[in-house]
């Protein structure tokens, strides 16, 4: 059972918009800690997509956006492309655990 809760899977057709939710608690998001998002393709190293709730590292398309509110966060992907098919993870700091925590991951399928 992960500290951060994500849906196991989401899907969408090419060109559509999908969102991936991440639910935390008062010891992470609710305590003011930020959410970060990673994309993980099979056989590859994870890639940072969003940091500090809404910031995109250079090179990440603006089709990817993040938001956070109280104890929940979301990753939105617009204009879905086949290459977006991957596992997506949210991550934050948890003060009760005094360390980093990941969500269980969400598998995105592009139909």
Partner 1 sequence: QVQLVESGGGVVQPGGSLRLSCAASGFTFSSFAMHWVRQAPGKGLEWVAFIRYDGSSKSYSDSVKGRFTISRDNSQNTLWLQMDSLRAEDAALYYCAKAHSSSWYWTADSWGQGTLVTVSS
Cβ at position 9, least distance to partner 1 in Å: 13
Q: Which stretch binds partner 1 (CB under 8 A): 11-19, 51-59, 61-69, 71-79?
A: 51-59
The single residue among 10, 21, 31, 47 that binds partner 1, judged by CB under 8 A, is 47
Residue 13: how many CB atoms within 10 A of its CB?
9
Q: Which one among 45, 62, 69, 82 touches partner 1, defined by CB under 8 A?
A: 45
The answer to whether 103 contacts partner 1 (rule: CB under 8 A) is yes
Decide: is 24 part of the binding site for partner 1 (CB under 8 A): no
Q: How far apart are CA 77 and CA 37, in angstroms?
A: 12
Q: Of 21, 25, 31, 104, which one interacts with partner 1 (CB under 8 A)? A: 104
Report d(CA 35, CA 98) in Å as an integer.
Answer: 16
Stretch that binds partner 1, among 9-17, 29-37, 63-71, 74-82 (CB under 8 A): 29-37
Count of residues making up the chain:
111
Distances (CA, A) of 30 to 35, 53, 57, 73, 84: 11, 13, 24, 11, 29
Q: Is 21 helix (H, G, I), strand (E, B) or coil?
A: strand
In the list 30, 52, 61, 79, the residue contacting partner 1 (rule: CB under 8 A) is 52
């Amino acid at each position: 059972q992960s500290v951060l809760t994500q849906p196991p899977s989401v899907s969408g057709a090419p060109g559509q918009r999908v969102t991936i939710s991440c639910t935390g608690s008062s010891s992470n998001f609710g305590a003011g800690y930020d959410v970060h998002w990673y994309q993980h393709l099979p056989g590859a190293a994870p890639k940072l997509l969003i940091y500090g709730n809404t910031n995109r590292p250079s090179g990440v398309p603006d089709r990817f956006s993040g938001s956070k509110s109280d104890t929940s966060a979301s990753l939105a992907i617009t204009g879905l492309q086949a290459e977006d098919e991957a596992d997506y993870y949210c991550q934050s700091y948890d003060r009760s655990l005094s360390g980093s925590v990941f969500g269980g991951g969400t598998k995105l399928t592009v139909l």
